[in-house]
C-alpha cells in the first residue's frame, strides 16, 4: 500500500469517528409524519361530520405537532389555541393537585377524608372509612348522580351529599363517580386555603405555561363569564351548535383549555414530572403511583385510566365528555409519545376523541389507521328512518281518528278508554322523560337540554309523543261528539 493511500485512509477514519457518537433518531420519530396526521384527522372529521378538532403530539417531553381543524360555532377556524372543555379529562389535574399536597406532607393518601373535612357528612356511617386514596381511585362507594344541580361554590355543591348513602363498602369495588372528584377539589380548597381554580392556576397551569387554561364551578359559567364559543351536538352525520347543560362539575369536568396547553401538561408527564425549566412539580414516586392500578380498581390509578391488556401499545389515559365537548389524553410509556385530542362536539353513541387519538398513536407506531364506517351516523340515520315511518303512520292514524272512533261507537266507556292505553303509555313515559325529569332535584336543566343529549333519539321520541297525544285527544273528542249527537 502506498504512503498516500495510507494517509487518505487514516484521514477518513479520523473524520468518521465523531459520527459514531452522533445519536440516531429513534425509529418511531422517523415514522412520525405530520402530513399523515393532517390527512387522517381531516378524513376522519369529514366521514363523521365533526365540526372541529384540535390535536397535540408530544415525544419525550417535546412538542412534535399541534394543530386545529375545522371551525368553532362563531365560524372562526379552530386552532391549537382554541379553548375547549376537556370534561372528565379534568380528573387527572384534580388528582395531580391532591398529590402535590400529599408531596408537601399536608395530606396522607390513606387517611380518612373526615380527618380533613369533618364538616362533610353523609347519611352513612361507612363514610368515616373512606380515604383520600378511595376517592382518587373511585373505590369510595359514592354513587354517580345523573342529575346535578348547579352551585355557586364547591362547598355548596358537596354539602348536598349529606343525605347520600354509599353504594358499596369503601375500598370494596371500583365505581366511577364524579362526586369523588367534587370532594377532592373541595379538599384542595380547604387544605390550601385557595379556591380550586386559583390553586390550579398557581401550582399547575402557571408553572407549565398553560396560560389559556382555567377551571370553573358550573358549566353555565362558560357562557356567563367566559368568551368561549358554544360546542356542538351531532345528529344524522352533521352537527349543530348547542348550549352546554348547566350543572356543578368543579374538579370532575371543569377545565377548559387548549391543545397547545395540553401539550405542556403531557410534556411534564413524559419528563418525570418536570416543567421546561426543570422544576419538579410532583415527585417521581407519586407520579408513578398515579399511573399504577389501585386495590379493587385494576384499570384505574390515581386520576388515570389504565388500558386493558388487549390494547397495544399500552397507554395511560383519560377520556372526557360533557354535552357539547369531548376529549382524550393518552400517554404511551413504551414509545415516549403522548397525544391529546380536543373536540368541540359531543356524540352520545361514540367516543370520537378516543378513536382519533388511537389513530394518531398508530401513526406514531408506523401503522396506517383505518377510518371505519361512521357508526353514529348509521345509528342516527336508522333512527331517522324509524322517525319518518312513525310520522307517516301517525298522520295516517290522525286522519282516520273519526273513523276509528265511529267503529267503536257501541263500546262502553271503560272498553273505549282501555283501547287508548297502548298509545297513552308512550305519551306518559316520554312526557315524563322530556318534561318532568329535567326539572327534578331543583336543577336548571330544560327540555332542550334533554334533546341535546341525543338529538336523533329525542326527535323520534318527540314524534311518538306528539302523535300519541294528538291521537288520544282526537279520539276522545270524537267520542264526546258522538255522545252529544245522541249516537251513544
Structural domains in the chain plus CATH codes = 27-372 (3.40.710.10), 376-484 (no CATH)
317 grid coordinates: 389515559
Average pLDDT over residues 204-229: 87
320, β-bridge pairs: 327
Which of 157-161, 446-450, 462-466 is the most confident on average?
462-466
What does the pLDDT read at residue 309?
A: 84
Residues 428 and 472: beta-carbon distance below 8 Å:
no
Least confident residue range of 26-40, 364-378, 446-460: 26-40
- Using the structure block, give the residue that is written with the C-alpha cell 381511585: 137
- Collapsed DSSP state (helix, strand, coil) of residue 364: helix
Integer Cα distance of 277 and 209 in angstroms: 10
Integer Cα distance of 338 and 328 in angstroms: 11
What does the pLDDT read at residue 206?
A: 98
- Using the structure block, give the residue that is written with the C-alpha cell 395511560: 316
What does the pLDDT read at residue 5?
A: 43
Average pLDDT over residues 262-281: 96
Give the residue from 375, 396, 381, 360 showing the smallest Cα distance to 470: 396
Average pLDDT over residues 195-219: 95
Give phi and psi for 320, each to the nearest 5. -165, 145
What does the pLDDT read at residue 1?
A: 47
Residues 346 and 73: beta-carbon distance below 8 Å:
no
274, β-bridge pairs: 280
Query: Residue 27: how many CB atoms within 10 A of its CB?
Result: 10
Q: How confident is the model at residue 411 (pLDDT cuts 50, 70, 90)?
A: confident
Q: Considering Cα of 71, then 72, then 74, then 77, what sign does the dihedral take?
A: negative
Is pLDDT at 124 greater than 50 in this prediction?
yes
- Collapsed DSSP state (helix, strand, coil) of residue 452: helix
- Using the structure block, give the residue that is written with the C-alpha cell 401503522: 367
Is pLDDT at 334 greater than 80 in this prediction?
yes
Please calculate the CA angle 290-293-296 and round it to the nearest 5 degrees. 125
Integer Cα distance of 91 and 381 in angstroms: 34
Q: In 159-281, where do the E strands start and end? A: 214-215, 231-235, 238-242, 255-257
Average pLDDT over residues 95-99: 98
Give the residue from 188, 224, 226 showing the smallest Cα distance to 90: 188
Burial class (CB in 10 A: 0-12, 13-18, 19+), 158: buried
Integer Cα distance of 477 and 191 in angstroms: 66
pLDDT one-digit tens code per residue, 19-51: 333 333 333 455 689 999 999 999 999 999 999
Is pLDDT at 318 greater than 80 in this prediction?
yes
Which of 2-11, 24-33, 272-281, 449-458 is the most confident on average?
272-281
Which of 140-154, 199-213, 215-229 is the most confident on average?
199-213
pLDDT one-digit tens code per residue, 277-295: 999 999 999 999 999 999 8
pLDDT one-digit tens code per residue, 152-176: 889 999 998 988 999 999 999 999 9
What does the pLDDT read at residue 443?
A: 61
DSSP 255: E
Give phi and psi for 345, each to the nearest 5. -150, 165
What does the pLDDT read at residue 122?
A: 94
Element (H, E) at 244: none
Q: Is pLDDT larger for residue 29 or for residue 431?
A: 431
Please report, for residues 57, 262, 339, 362, 477, the alpha-carbon distance to residue 208 in angstroms, rounded to integers and kept in the order given: 16, 10, 17, 28, 69
Give the residue from 325, 323, 318 showing the smallest Cα distance to 343: 325
- On average, the pLDDT of the chain sits at 90
- What pTM, to 2 d.p., does this model score? 0.88
Q: Is pLDDT larger for residue 41 or for residue 311?
A: 41
- Using the structure block, give the residue that is written with the C-alpha cell 391543545: 259
Q: How confident is the model at residue 371 (pLDDT cuts 50, 70, 90)?
A: very high
What does the pLDDT read at residue 151?
A: 83
Average pLDDT over residues 449-474: 92
Length of the chain: 488
Average pLDDT over residues 416-421: 90
What percent of the chain stands above pLDDT 90? Answer: 74
Q: How confident is the model at residue 12 (pLDDT cuts 50, 70, 90)?
A: very low
Q: How confident is the model at residue 9 (pLDDT cuts 50, 70, 90)?
A: very low
Helices (H) and strands (E) in the chain, counts: 18, 12
What b/e string do you get for 85-114 counting C-beta neighbours within 10 Å, with b at 16 or more? bbbbbbbbbbbbbbbbbbbeeebebeebbb
103 grid coordinates: 408531596
What does the pLDDT read at residue 18?
A: 40
Integer Cα distance of 197 and 93 in angstroms: 11
Integer Cα distance of 299 and 391 in angstroms: 45
Q: Is pLDDT larger for residue 208 or for residue 18?
A: 208
Separation of first and last alpha carbons in the chain? 126
pLDDT one-digit tens code per residue, 465-481: 999 999 999 999 999 99
> How far is CA 183 from its chain centroid?
19
Integer Cα distance of 343 and 87 in angstroms: 11
What does the pLDDT read at residue 4?
A: 42
Q: Considering Cα of 26, then 280, then 90, then 70, what sign does the dihedral take?
A: negative
Please report, for residues 310, 312, 344, the alpha-carbon distance to residue 51 in angstroms, rounded to integers and kept in the order given: 31, 29, 7
Amino acid at each position: 500500500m502506498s504512503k498516500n493511500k495510507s494517509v487518505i485512509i487514516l484521514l477518513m477514519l479520523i473524520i468518521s469517528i465523531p459520527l459514531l457518537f452522533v445519536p440516531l433518531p429513534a425509529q418511531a420519530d422517523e415514522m412520525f409524519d405530520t402530513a399523515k396526521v393532517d390527512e387522517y384527522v381531516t378524513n376522519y372529521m369529514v366521514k363523521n361530520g365533526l365540526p372541529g378538532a384540535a390535536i397535540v403530539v408530544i415525544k419525550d417531553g417535546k412538542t412534535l405537532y399541534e394543530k386545529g381543524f375545522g371551525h368553532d360555532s362563531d365560524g372562526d377556524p379552530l386552532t391549537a389555541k382554541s379553548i375547549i372543555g376537556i370534561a372528565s379529562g379534568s380528573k387527572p389535574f384534580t388528582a395531580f393537585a391532591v398529590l402535590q399536597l400529599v408531596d408537601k406532607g399536608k395530606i396522607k393518601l390513606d387517611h380518612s377524608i373526615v380527618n380533613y373535612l369533618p364538616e362533610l357528612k353523609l347519611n352513612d356511617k361507612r363514610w368515616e372509612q373512606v380515604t383520600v386514596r378511595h376517592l382518587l381511585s373511585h373505590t369510595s362507594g359514592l354513587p354517580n348522580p345523573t342529575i346535578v344541580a348547579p352551585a355557586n361554590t364547591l362547598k355548596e355543591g358537596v354539602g348536598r351529599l349529606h343525605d347520600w348513602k354509599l353504594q358499596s363498602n369503601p375500598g370494596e369495588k371500583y365505581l366511577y363517580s364524579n362526586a369523588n372528584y367534587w370532594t377532592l377539589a373541595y379538599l384542595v380548597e380547604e387544605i390550601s386555603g385557595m379556591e380550586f381554580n386559583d390553586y390550579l392556576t398557581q401550582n399547575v397551569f402557571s408553572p407549565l405555561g398553560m396560560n389559556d387554561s382555567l377551571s370553573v364551578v358550573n358549566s353555565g359559567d362558560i357562557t356567563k363569564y367566559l368568551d368561549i364559543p358554544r360546542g356542538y351536538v351531532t345528529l344524522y352525520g352533521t352537527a349543530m351548535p348547542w348550549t352546554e347543560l348547566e350543572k356543578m362539575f368543579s374538579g370532575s369536568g371543569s377545565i377548559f383549555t387548549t391543545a397547545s396547553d395540553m401539550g405542556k401538561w403531557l410534556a411534564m408527564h413524559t419528563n418525570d414530572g418536570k416543567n421546561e425549566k426543570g422544576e419538579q412539580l410532583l415527585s417521581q414516586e407519586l407520579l408513578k403511583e398515579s399511573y399504577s392500578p389501585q386495590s379493587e380498581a385494576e384499570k384505574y390509578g390515581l386520576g388515570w385510566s389504565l388500558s386493558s391488556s388487549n390494547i397495544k401499545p399500552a397507554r395511560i389515559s383519560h377520556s372526557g365528555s360533557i354535552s357539547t365537548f369531548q376529549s382524550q389524553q393518552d400517554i404511551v410509556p413504551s414509545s415516549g409519545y403522548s397525544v391529546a385530542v380536543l373536540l368541540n362536539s359531543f356524540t352520545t353513541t361514540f367516543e370520537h376523541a378516543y378513536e382519533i387519538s388511537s389513530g394518531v398513536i398508530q401513526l406514531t407506531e408506523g401503522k396506517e389507521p383505518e377510518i371505519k364506517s361512521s357508526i353514529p351516523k348509521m345509528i342516527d340515520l336508522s333512527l331517522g328512518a324509524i322517525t319518518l315511518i312513525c310520522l307517516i303512520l301517525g298522520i295516517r292514524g290522525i286522519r282516520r281518528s273519526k273513523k276509528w272512533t265511529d267503529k267503536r261507537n257501541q263500546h262502553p266507556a271503560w272498553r273505549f278508554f282501555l283501547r287508548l292505553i297502548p298509545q297513552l303509555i308512550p305519551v306518559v313515559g316520554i312526557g315524563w322523560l322530556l318534561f318532568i325529569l329535567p326539572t327534578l332535584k331543583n336543577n336548571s336543566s330544560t327540555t332542550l337540554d334533554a334533546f341535546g343529549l341525543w338529538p336523533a333519539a329525542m326527535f323520534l321520541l318527540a314524534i311518538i309523543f306528539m302523535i300519541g297525544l294528538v291521537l288520544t285527544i282526537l279520539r276522545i273528542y270524537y267520542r264526546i261528539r258522538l255522545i252529544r249527537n245522541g249516537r251513544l
